[in-house]
């Protein structure tokens, strides 16, 4: 086996301790069983991280290091906004490399992929700077913040040209899930109100999702949008209807997501009917 996986499923990230590949420099392909539970950005991130050992074996940031894509990086005292973006068959962004000696190095990367995104065909990365310290949630669930309180429910609102899907109290600002589509548009926007700390204009933050017991995992690139009601910036991810996120919301028990180094668990009880209505109305 060319690489060893150490996945933290609860927060949607999977890090790979990459070793030298024995298959003449050819990156491994993700299995069909893995692919069926992931969204496209997560598939690309797993394939690129898993293929780094074969495609960038001579880079000192790879070797037997652990790579994590889409993490915040730092150059000296300057904090660089995390980024991960998929365009066609190319994944680009930032990440960190953890060496066996505990040394952390931030980097920028570019990864080309096969047509189905399951296999990396080229991977390159360039060091940005060293990190003095770095920590992440352990994914055990002990630090999850339950977003719901009593009295919240799942509902849709038909507003003419647009449709809303929310979990909260109708006619109030008390909502812990909010999505909106333009009818016939083919995608919806997921507004995430928990990414405000240190979040400014033109920023991007990766949002990772795990939906037990469906085993669904997703990775989303959310952008900063100024929110008039909170007078601050929130994260907004544009999600195509071909993405499995709505299916997970309709079928899972909880939606566990990680954003801005914090983890949240959203109660999905009673979501199925509202999701189906949202999808039907958004078709136009």
Q: Which domains does the chain have, with CATH numbers?
A: 3-131 (no CATH), 145-282 (2.60.40)
Q: Is the pLDDT of residue 7 over 80?
A: no
State the pTM of this model. Answer: 0.76
d(CA 138, CA 146): 17
Largest Cα–Cα distance of the chain, in whole Å?
61
- CA contacts within 13 A on the Cβ side of 56: 24
Highest mean pLDDT among 24-38, 69-83, 157-171, 239-253: 239-253
d(CA 277, CA 272): 9
Assigned token pair, 151: 């009295």
pLDDT range class, residue 73, cuts 50, 70, 90: low
Q: Do residues 181 and 187 touch, judged by C-beta distance below 8 A?
A: yes
Share of the chain above pLDDT 70, in %: 76
d(CA 176, CA 166): 8
Mean pLDDT in residue range 141-147: 47
Mean pLDDT in residue range 202-218: 86
User: Which of 114-118, 126-130, 252-256 shows the lowest mean pLDDT across its residues?
Assistant: 126-130
Q: Which residue has the tokens 């296999």?
A: 119
Q: Is the pLDDT of residue 181 over 50?
A: yes
Q: What is the pLDDT of residues 255-269, one digit of tens each?
A: 998 876 678 888 899
Q: ∠ CA(158), CA(161), CA(165), 5° rounding?
A: 40
Task: Write down the mean pLDDT value for the chain.
Answer: 78
Give Cα 110 to chain centroid, integer Å: 17
pLDDT at 227: 78
Q: Is the pLDDT of residue 24 over 60?
A: no
pLDDT at 147: 52
Mean pLDDT in residue range 101-120: 90
Q: E strands, 139-272, where?
A: 145-146, 153-158, 162-168, 175-182, 187-192, 204-211, 216-227, 232-240, 254-259, 262-267
pLDDT at 261: 63
Mean pLDDT in residue range 31-40: 87
């Amino acid at each position: 086996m060319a690489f060893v996986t150490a996945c933290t499923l609860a927060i949607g990230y999977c890090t790979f301790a990459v070793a030298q590949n024995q298959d003449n420099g050819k990156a491994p392909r993700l299995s069909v069983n893995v692919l069926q539970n992931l969204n496209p950005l997560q598939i690309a991130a797993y394939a690129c991280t898993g293929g780094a050992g074969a495609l960038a074996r001579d880079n000192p940031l790879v070797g037997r290091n652990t790579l994590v894509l889409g993490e915040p990086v730092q150059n000296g005292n300057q904090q660089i906004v995390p980024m991960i973006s998929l365009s066609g068959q190319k994944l680009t962004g930032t990440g960190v490399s953890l060496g066996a000696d505990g040394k952390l190095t931030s980097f920028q990367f570019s990864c080309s992929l096969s047509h189905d995104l399951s296999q990396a065909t080229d991977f390159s990365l360039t060091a940005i700077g060293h990190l003095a310290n770095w920590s992440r949630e352990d994914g055990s669930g002990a630090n999850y913040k339950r977003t719901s309180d009593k009295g919240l429910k799942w509902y849709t609102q038909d507003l003419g040209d647009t449709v809303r899907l929310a979990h909260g109290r109708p006619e109030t600002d008390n909502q812990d899930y909010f999505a909106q589509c333009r009818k016939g548009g083919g995608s919806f926007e997921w507004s995430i109100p928990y990414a405000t700390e240190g979040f400014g204009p033109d920023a991007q933050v990766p949002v990772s999702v795990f939906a037990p017991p469906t085993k669904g995992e997703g990775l989303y690139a959310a952008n900063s949008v100024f929110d008039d009601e909170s007078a601050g910036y929130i994260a907004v991810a544009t999600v195509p209807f071909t993405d499995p996120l709505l299916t997970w919301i309709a079928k899972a028990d909880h939606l566990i997501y990680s954003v801005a180094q914090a983890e949240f668990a959203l109660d999905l009880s009673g979501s199925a009917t509202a999701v189906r209505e949202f999808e039907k109305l958004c078709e136009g």
